[in-house]
Amino acid sequence: MAERWDMVVVGAGTAGLPAAVFAAERGLRVLVVEKSRRVGGTLLISGGQMSGAGTRHQQRHGVDDTPEEHFRDVMAFSEGRADPDLVRLATDNAAGTIDWLDELGFEFSPDCPAVRFNHRHHPYSKARMHWGTDAGDSIAEVIIPELESAVAGGAVEVMPGTSLVGLDHGAGAVHGVRIEGPDGLQEHGAGAVVLAAGGYTANPVLFEELSSGRLVSPGLPTATGDAHRIAAELGGRLRGGAHWLPVFGGIEDPEAPHRTVHKDYWAVLTPQIRPPWEVYVNRSGRRFVSEEEGDEVVRGRALRAQDGQVFWVVFDEAVLREAPDLLPAWGADGVRARAGRKPPVMAADTLEGLAAAAGIDPDGLAATVAGYNAAVSGAPDELGRRHLPLPIAEPPFYAVENHGTTLPTPAGVAVDGGLRVLTAEGRPIGGLYAAGEILGSAAFSGSGAAAGMNVTPAMTFGRLLGSGLGS
């Protein structure tokens, strides 16, 4: 062993940063292993949405709230499929995490606390959503200096550009890590190892294996699921993949398969923000959910059921000319300029030509557009849609390819109430803990969507492990 540490934290992101900071505060020597060249993890790309009950920020705004109410809402949003023990641990301690950020000088958005962050999630019963003025960067900006202070004081060492390749394991417990970085392969002993390495949004094969869907994600390129695989090799149980709920829409980068283009170039498909002028069709050319459906869970489940979780937003020149911009960053002229015979924007003078360019069944698309146009003229819409401003009839015709996307990955390692990694038989693996996205988003949202229940539990569990939970 090159050196022995009181704690090795794998991943310097949402969970790993507070784990290292709080462990250092209680006098532990901590090694932080980070695969990327910089610390911050998904905080650097996250919206930074947090939910917590009983926070000081709520009290400043006259909001009377309790962890019990928070717990009930989350379990309802998850339809009872979230892990109640982990949800309880997260909601009981969320206020302490948000108050800690508050003490560090976190700058809250003037729009919070609120019952919801956006229309993608159901509103909470109380105004318990918190977020900063600069998304996840607002969180990183107050935590990273705390890590840097611990490094300067000698309590913490950070190894960037370094990957976990294995764990030293024997007699039912983990005793250290095997890592590979700029200095080659190394082994380090550890009193405890905290897996906080994130998800698998850069591993299409693992995503298909664990979540049974096609991966399209804006996630970090370093999120390859290494810790998931290594925990499973030790007998750790992975769970929750079947609960994957894709985000409804996102444009795949034509130059980088499985990656999305920048979020500013996504289509506005939220009906509460922009009523739909187009139709959404699957590979068969058929509509599969009402374009007016505003429930993100309903839309996500409908999209997951489609072949490849792909759909096309279909419209014509009149809609492009008259409707509010579908792609505000491009505008109508930008859509016309990008229209070609490959994704994400296809165009043709006929519906048959559009179907051929997009890979959509031509008969299905023709029948769908005919039925929609009849509804515009007064016939009943097959999906009950009411906003029917224009027929789709004026060439050229357009199709914008969209995909079900994901940032937090659903499958994760099973842990007990002390966040100890469990085997398939339910036994804890000694010395091995987990926090953050490696637990899987399904542990907190089931097959639904509970706002603020990715970032907050990750930070909270990192804070608790650093403070001594389970030791």
pLDDT, residue 263, reads 72
Within this chain, domains 3-240+408-467 and 247-405 share the same CATH topology:
no
Structure tokens at 304: 């997951």
Structure tokens at 27: 């006098």
Ramachandran quadrant class, 436 (left: phi over 0; alpha: psi -120 to 50; beta: rest): left
- pLDDT over 80 at 315, yes or no: yes
CA separation for the pair 17, 372 (Å, rounded): 52
pLDDT, residue 120, reads 76
pLDDT, residue 471, reads 65
pLDDT, residue 119, reads 77
Indicate the length of the chain as a whole number: 471
Does the domain at 3-240+408-467 match CATH 3.30.930.10? Answer given as no
pLDDT, residue 50, reads 97
The CATH code for residues 247-405 is 3.90.700.10
CA separation for the pair 199, 225 (Å, rounded): 5
Q: Sorting pLDDT into bands at 50, 70 and 90, what band is 298?
A: very high
CA separation for the pair 399, 281 (Å, rounded): 9
Counting residues of the chain whose pLDDT is more than 70, the rounded percentage is: 99
- pLDDT over 90 at 122, yes or no: no
Residue ranges of alpha helices (H) inside 259-406 are: 296-304, 317-322, 331-338, 351-358, 362-376
pLDDT (average), residues 195-203? 94
CA separation for the pair 89, 417 (Å, rounded): 8
- pLDDT over 90 at 40, yes or no: yes
pLDDT, residue 428, reads 97
pLDDT (average), residues 22-35? 97
- Number of helices (H), then strands (E), belonging to the chain: the values are 14, 17
pLDDT (average), residues 137-144? 97
pLDDT, residue 292, reads 97
- pLDDT over 80 at 1, yes or no: no
pLDDT, residue 67, reads 98
Note the pLDDT tens digit of each residue in 150-194. Answer: 999 999 999 999 999 999 999 889 999 999 999 999 999 999 999
pLDDT, residue 470, reads 64
Q: In this structure, what DSSP letter does residue 369 have?
A: H
Cβ-defined contacts of 171-178 (< 8 Å, 24+): 171/430, 172/427, 172/429, 172/430, 173/429, 173/430, 173/431, 173/432, 174/234, 174/429, 174/430, 174/431, 174/432, 175/431, 176/1, 176/4, 176/8, 177/8, 177/10, 177/33
What does the mean pLDDT of the chain come to? 95
- pLDDT over 90 at 376, yes or no: yes
Q: Which residues pair with 399 in a beta bridge?
A: 314, 346
Spell out the domain ranges in the chain: 3-240+408-467, 247-405
Return the H-helix or E-strand segment holding 238. strand 238-239
By the 8 A CB rule, do 190 and 4 touch? yes
Note the pLDDT tens digit of each residue in 233-256. Answer: 999 999 999 999 999 999 999 889
Note the pLDDT tens digit of each residue in 81-95. Answer: 999 999 999 999 999
Residue recorded with tokens 């949800």 = 87
pLDDT, residue 285, reads 98
Residue 87 has a CB neighbour count (10 Å cut-off) of 24
Q: How far is CA 160 from CA 169, 179, 222, 253, in A?
A: 24, 11, 12, 28
